[in-house]
Structure 1
Amino acid sequence: MTDLSPLSALSSALADVVARTAPSLVSVHSHRSRASGFAWKPGLIITADEALADEGEVEIRLADGSAVAATIAGRDHTTDIALLRANTDIAPVKLAATVPALGALSIVVATDRSAPSASLGLVSASGQSWRSLRGGDIDARIELDVRLRPAQEGGLALNAAGEAFGMAVLGPRRVLVIPTATIERVAAQLETRGRIARGYLGLGLQPVRLDDGIGAMVMNVDKAGPSAAAGIRQGDVIVAVNDQKLSGVRALSRTLGPASVGSVVDVAVRRGGEPLSFKVTVGERPEA
């Protein structure tokens, strides 16, 4: 018997990696949406929030073709992570804290039409932490040069050793990976609280252009919110926060992440053209 060629050996190794991981993958059905998911802990499934319908029943389909009802334990649209509860005995995946090197091989194991699927590609970007357009803190920038169908979103991204380093999601014009560190941090809060705490100023803001930059006009004030308690009124124009000039309403919103709750910020405003300053203790955004 001759030894396997290098390509044959690689092919066999990749097939083994997929075979070991596939039993932990599920297909997530919600309204008309289809996505992939994986067992994080016993009875807990992680999937891509963006691929999960906003209403209606949720069902997961297992590798053996059976279907199980699921409930939403919590979801965070800023990091694209949703957590489902389901009565299953699927073996959880052990997530690795590693961040793959640029150019490394990556396999995305997911589901498509309720059956296991696999895609092979390269890590096309590997870098430092970043903030999503929706204000979520992502612990590492990982992009994959791989093609995924919408139903494969929420699958596992593996390295060549078979270690799962995150969840594959469809970003703008590219496939992104939500890394293990982000999944573990966010999913743990969703498991215990059902939501992620977000900072809250209690203000409705409208961007305005000033002679010396950009401001945010206060259009309405939550009378029970932290800004009202500090003395900010409707009609005030916010020009700076913590001595940093305002670059826009969206940029201000992105600073109100989980770590901001309870912090005290200096808010500089103009009221009738006169400069004023207020100390606002950031609250926690109430549930919608």
Structure 2
Amino acid sequence: MRLSLRLRPVCGALLAGLLTQAQATTHALPEFTALVAENGPKVVNISSKQRPLPAKRFPGVPTPDLPDDSPLQDFFRHFFGDQGDPGDAPGDAEQGRSLGSGFIVSADGYVLTNAHVVEGADEIVVRTSDRREFVATLVGSDKRSDVALLKLDAAGLPTVKIGSAKDLQVGEWVLAIGSPFGFEHSATAGIVSAKGRNLPSENYVPFIQTDVAINPGNSGGPLFNLDGEVIGVNSQIYSRTGGFMGLSFAIPIDVAMDVLEQLKTKGRVSRGWLGVLIQDVTRELAPTFGLPQPGGALVAQVLPDSPAAAVGLLPGDVILRYNDKEVATSSALPPLVGTTPVGESARLEVLRKGKPVRLQIKIAELPDEDQSDDGSDDKGAGAPEGKPNRLGMVASDLRADQREQLDLERGGVLVERVKEGPAAQAGLTAGDVILMLDGQDVADLAGFNRILEALEPGRSVAVLVERGDGRMFYAVRIPKP
């Protein structure tokens, strides 16, 4: 009894302290209610409709009568198409609908959303929070940034406040409003997880990564900061399930607004272009190019008749700065170049064979994406057998037909076989074409062997390889005897 009396004041003090701490923590959390109330009416729901294919039957294919929610429906649609009912007239089938979000950027009806939300749409329906519906006109869309601009026949619409992502900080609170799975005007919150993320399919957008819950239907919706300013356009998620897994990506509003202005004024988007293929400088490659640590964008290929070719940029050059801005990784370079106005000059700081080089380059316009890949990768059929060299591979001179296939007039040797050894450990495979070894151009097999034999054991050297339609450097360590 005495023990409990003595403990009672201590417990009371402890409880009071915990309550005070909890209250302080609660007060430190952001308040989103006013932000949602103010900006909810400025966010819209977007439905896009596509014309269905004519209903058709496949004679001889047994198609059981399945309920609409049966998983086998997807199987038959995938392999046999949308068969419809024998009595249906063409065009009777229900049109496909794609749900997404957007937000109003001007009172006269301009709406910003994602390009993939409206891609292939025959009709775009925009619904506001007060249940009004508008058939929107597509002003233009840009696949590379995944931004589309719509126009509504309306006036006096409420508009969002446009901010900037330049001063956004990792850890900062952000809020998304959209229509996940069609649930209109849903609000979700989280923090900025990272900035300047580059995704494999989007080289020209330095994405904002957040942990805000984003799901299908949120695409094209706004990402707000605590001041109620739009600082991003929700675009993609990383998911293994199709649903939210804590990795969401938004297009910085600065990028989106630049695209908007170009679409508005000329209906298309132009971007700056250097004409190089680049790669990251890895830990293994860094010392081979005279770098104390990984950094910069390593030039693997200079395209002919490009701005880079005109100023003498070379494979093996490492671009360290662009217009006085550091290029920490290869993914940092495309957004810098892409946002440079076509025709302007840019300053490059390059490391070439361990020595700094400064170049002035005139930016050209990025060409349309090349669709000419024929998918052929057979480079070594019928090659003769040979003894592996000190790298553990067999190389040979290229035949005339192989050069024609590769569009390679001169230089290079073909990797015929790769056995266990330094070449395999570096990632070289049969069919690769070696164009450069330790900074020296490879003219033919004899020249390649002379360079290889002269290399000091224990060193790591850079090997420039053409594989498929691209070129890349690999770091190969010369084995000791």
TM over 0.5: yes
Q: Secondary structure at the match of 1:183?
A: helix
- 1:78-125 per-position Cα deviation (integer Å, ceiling 9, x unaligned): 111110011133211111125432112211111342621100112111
Greater Rg by CA: 2
Q: How does 1:1-288 map to 2 (within 5 A)?
A: 13-31=31-49, 32-42=97-107, 43-88=109-154, 89-98=156-165, 99-112=167-180, 113=182, 115-125=184-194, 127-128=195-196, 133-138=201-206, 141-173=207-239, 174-198=247-271, 242-245=312-315, 257=338, 259=340, 261-262=342-343, 282=364, 285=367
- CA pair 215-87 structure 1, distance change in 2 beyond 3 A: same
Q: What is the SS of the residue equivalent to 1:13?
A: coil
The residue number in structure 1 matching 2:391 is none
The Cα offsets for residues 154-209 of structure 1, whole Å up to 9 and x where unpaired, read as 111112232221211214443112122112211111111111024689xxxxxxxx
Task: Give the gaps of 5 or more residues in structure 2.
Answer: 1-22, 50-96, 240-246, 275-298, 318-330, 346-361, 371-481
> Which amino acid in the other structure matches residue 47 of structure 1?
T
CA distance in 2 between counterparts of 1:146 and 1:188 reads: 28
* Cα pair distance change 1:16/1:191, threshold 3 Å: same
Verify the 8 A CA contact 1:35 1:111 in the aligned structure 2. yes
Return the alpha-carbon distance in structure 2 between the equivalents of residues 107 and 142 of structure 1. Answer: 13
Q: Which amino acid aligns with 1:243?
A: L
Q: Is the contact made by 1:27 and 1:114 (CA closer than 8 Å) also made in structure 2?
A: no
In structure 2, how many angstroms separate the alpha carbons of the residues matched to 1:67 and 1:10? 40
Q: For the structure 1 residues 285 and 166, does the alpha-carbon distance in structure 2 shift closer, same or farther, using more than 3 Å as the test?
A: same
Distance 2:116 2:105 in 1: 18
Structure with more strand by fraction: 1
Task: Write the letter of the residue equivalent to 1:22.
Answer: G
Identity rate of aligned residues, in percent?
A: 25
The normalised TM-score by structure 2 is 0.42
Mark the CA change 1:11 to 1:245 in structure 2 (over 3 Å): closer, same or farther.
Answer: closer
Structure 2 Cα separation of the partners of residues 246 and 33 of structure 1: 46
Give CA deviations for 1:121-174 in whole Å, capped at 9, x if unaligned.
12111x358687344244xx4211122121111111112232221211214443
Identify the range of structure 1 (64-73 vs 192-201) with the bigger mean alpha-carbon deviation: 192-201
**Residue-pair matches, total:** 240
| Superposition RMSD in Å | 4.2
Structure-2 separation of matches of 1:26 and 1:71: 15
Q: Is the 8 A contact 1:106 1:157 kept in 2?
A: yes
CA shift digits 1:37-91 (9 cap, x unpaired): 0001231000011222323111101112221000111111111111001113321
Determine if contact 1:240/1:246 at 8 Å carries over to the other structure: no
Distance 2:310 2:316 in 1: 5
